[in-house]
Chain A
């Protein structure tokens, strides 16, 4: 079964450093999302991306966050200057082009630890 691949699986970074989380979507999927889950809390929407632009972003997705699809395959989330409160699991999710909602396929996640 096709998978959404995320790398790295775990990233430890110092506060103030930049991190890039990577996702390889399923090949015929065109809608991409980032979610995060702080330990013990809800899965929260960050941003949706379609046709090489952001469709929607949440209040969490402030100026320190950015997304891009630099080479037509990878989908990346950049956090420019990490804070302690950015420590969370970050999940990439994708949907196929023929919506309506089938429900997303989530990647395995990146655990980000900011120290």
Chain B
């Protein structure tokens, strides 16, 4: 079984700070990587996808991928209390089912 690992947190950051969320994966052949945000009691919402090594920016979010280290991260700049949620890293297997990490709970305090 391929694994996706995340620190469960909580990660607490003050409003306006950068939140850094990390994820490692075991399948060296993985080609695409997703970050989902999940508010308590709600469904996962896709916020970022990344396919190539390096950085991908979308608004306040930046995804970073390092395939050699099997590491993908999500940076949230200018963190807001509304960013408080659990962030799920997800990696598709070759059959396209998603393998999720346990998620990192982010708390942004005013």
Contacts and interface: CB of A to CB of B under 8 A. Distances in A.
Tell me which of A58, A105, A106 has the highest count of chain B C-beta atoms within 10 A of its own C-beta. Answer: A106
B101 A108 contact: no
B49 A104 contact: no
Interface in A65-109: 89, 91, 95, 99-109
A88 to B, nearest CB: 12
Nearest to B88: A43
B: contact size bracket: 20 to 34
Interface string B75-110: 000000000000010101001111111110000000
A45 B99 contact: yes
Contacts, number: 57
B98 A45 contact: yes
Do most interface residues of chain A lie in helix, strand or loop, or is the interface mixed? Answer: strand
B46 A103 contact: yes
Q: How large is the interface on A (under 10, 10 to 19, 20 to 34, 35 or more residues)?
A: 20 to 34
B44 A42 contact: no
Given A42-B100, A42-B101, A43-B88, A104 B95 contact: no
Nearest to B44: A106
B45 interface: yes
B34 interface: yes
Nearest to B99: A45
Contact of B44 (A91, A99, A111): A91
A33 B97 contact: yes
B43 A109 contact: yes
Interface of A: 31, 33, 35, 41-45, 48, 55-56, 58, 89, 91, 95, 99-109, 111
Given A31-B96, A56-B97, A91-B43, 4 more contacts: A45-B97, A56-B95, A103-B49, A106-B46
